[in-house]
Structures are given as C-alpha cells and as structure tokens.
Amino acid sequence: MDSENELQYQQSLDLGLLIELVQGYNHLYDLSNKHYKDNNKKEESWKEISEIMGVSASRSLKRKADPDCAEMVEAAKRVADSISSRKSTAVKEPTQNEAFCQYNLSRLNSMDKDEAKQKRRRMLLIVEDLE
C-alpha cells in the first residue's frame, strides 16, 4: 500500500471508530435524552472520545485550526444528525402506564372539582415516577 492509500485507509478506520464511539454517547445527539442540554456532560464525553481516538483534548478544542480534526467533527455531527432524525421520525407507542394515565386524565373532565384534584395529584405522582 502506498502512503496515500494507507492514509485514506487509516482515516476511514478513524471515521468508523468515531461513528461507533459517538453512537455510544446518545446524549450528544438524542434530543429526548435528559442530558442533551448538559454542556459539561457533553464536554466530558468529547474528552473521553478524544482520548480513545488518540487525539489530544487541546487538539479537539482547536478543531477549526486543524482540518483533519474539523473533518472528523463534521462527520460525527452528520452521523449524530442522521441518528437523531431517524429516532425523531419513529412513532412511539405509549407504554401501558402512559396509556393508563392518559385515559384517566381524560376522565377528569367528567368528575367534580375535589375528586378531580385528588385524582390529578395521584396521576402526576405516577407520571413523575415514570420519568
């Protein structure tokens, strides 16, 4: 293998590893994940990924100055967007508990005020336990 082909082969291996690693950190791309907005957790995850990839954290922080690193980050973002768009288009069936809660909440309109308040409180406690 000549050096150019070897470099391309190595980059494809790196990209494959990057894709695999990013998929293991679903809070980096899954909007429904409770840690999606946690920037500290994301930063820690990217540090872990950079250590596994053998890229220094300072290099990954300076990714705009490094074309190879920038290309890998862009590829990871494309993969993350692709995964998140596939997940967001999937129709989620309600669990048995969610269906139970929805049914009972719909019945609240037919109850008197005090009974409805008590029932609503119990339902909200069940929903909080589900999360």
Write out pLDDT tens, residues 44-96: 888 888 788 777 655 444 444 555 556 666 666 776 677 666 655 555 565 66
- What are 55's two structure tokens? 């890229």
108: phi then psi, degrees, rounded to nearest 5: -60, -30
Q: Where are the domains of the chain?
A: 3-89, 96-130
18-48 pLDDT, tens per residue?
A: 777 888 888 887 888 888 888 889 888 888 8
pTM: 0.40
Report the SS3 class of residue 24. Answer: coil
